[in-house]
Amino acid sequence: MTRHFLLLFLVLPAVGMSATGPEAKYKAPRNGDGQPDLQGVWNFSSDVPLERPASVGDKKLFTPEELEAQKGAKAKALDTITKLVPVEDVGITWLDYAARIENLRTSLLTYPDNGRVPKLVEKPRSAADRSPRENCPARRQTSRL
């Protein structure tokens, strides 16, 4: 008899939950303009630098061993910092320096091929240096759009 009560006690709530129907679909929060509200903390942790380090040369990918060596060097540098600089109540473990994605690329830049930001030009080209087609006012106007 107690088994029947126990079974009844477990089955009735399950039946009651399924009788209420499916849960309401999730609705993303919206901002004042009606667009999805994307405010918050976004974590794009990555070990990939913007520019390719000069020590790497034109190499586009690291080997997994090189990536592990870099992680070890970073951990060693942080250990050295904690020994030299007193970290008071907050430990170094609170720093979020770990990459979330294993990426073997040597730089985020893929063009130019050397993976480095191109140098700025000293001055813009004058009208005399440009071709006649580039000097056309209609062409200049459409290129601004």
Q: Could you tell me which of 58, 74, 38 has the C-alpha nearest to residue 109?
A: 58
CB atoms within 10 A of CB 92: 13
pTM (2 d.p.): 0.48
How many folded domains does the chain comprise?
1
Tell me, yes or no, whether 126 lies in a domain: no
38 within a domain of the structure (yes/no): no
Q: Is residue 91 part of a domain?
A: yes
Assess contact for 54 and 117: CB atoms under 8 A.
no
Report pLDDT for 35: 92
Assess if residue 58 is contained within a domain: yes
| Range of the structural domain that residue 62 is part of | 45-117
Asked if the model's pLDDT at residue 88 lies above 80, the reply is no
Task: Tell me, rounded to whole angstroms, the distance of Cα 117 from its chain centroid.
Answer: 19
Residue 49 belongs to some domain of the structure: yes
Indicate the SS3 state at residue 111: coil
Q: Is residue 106 part of a domain?
A: yes
In a domain, 83, yes or no: yes
DSSP string, 85-103: S---SS-GGG-----SS--
78 occurs within a structural domain: yes
